[in-house]
């Protein structure tokens, strides 16, 4: 499931402790198809897309310096990150997260 969150940021934070998720930043057009495929492949994992221009506070909190930036979280803890549009690395990290569930 791929969801854009703007004003839903607060609701998202309430649920971070209870879900496994991957959170990318927008401006990721070249990797977007691979991201969508992964969201379809792993429906039990929450995939979120954040517009850093609309949520500057979130960008600062997560120290986002480049886009796309992917954050792999479980139970409110950051497990891994990926910065950039490396499709193979995104798939590798996502597979590792999914298999560790």
Segments making up each domain of the chain, as ranges: 2-99
**Predicted pLDDT of residue 71:** 93
**Predicted pLDDT of residue 29:** 79
**Predicted pLDDT of residue 14:** 47
**CB-CB contact of 18 with 75 (8 Å):** yes
* Domain 2-99 fold: Glutaredoxin (3.40.30)
Tens place of pLDDT per residue across the chain (101 aa):
444 443 444 444 444 443 344 444 344 678 889 999 999 999 999 999 888 888 889 889 999 888 889 999 999 899 999 998 899 999 999 999 999 87
What pTM, to 2 d.p., does this model score? 0.70
Q: How far apart are CA 5 and CA 72, in angstroms?
A: 17
Residues sharing a CB contact under 8 Å with residue 1, sequence separation 6 or more, in sequence order: 39, 43, 46, 47
**Predicted pLDDT of residue 22:** 45
**Predicted pLDDT of residue 50:** 84
**Predicted pLDDT of residue 17:** 41
């Amino acid at each position: 499931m791929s969801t854009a969150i703007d004003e839903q940021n607060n609701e998202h934070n309430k649920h971070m402790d209870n879900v496994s998720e991957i959170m990318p930043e927008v401006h990721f057009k070249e990797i977007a198809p691979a991201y969508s495929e992964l969201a379809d492949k792993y429906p039990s994992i929450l995939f979120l897309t954040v517009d850093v221009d609309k949520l500057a506070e979130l960008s600062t909190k997560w120290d986002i310096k480049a886009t796309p930036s992917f954050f792999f979280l479980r139970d409110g803890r950051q497990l891994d990150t990926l910065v950039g549009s490396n499709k193979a690395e995104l798939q590798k990290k996502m597979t590792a997260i999914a298999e560790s569930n």
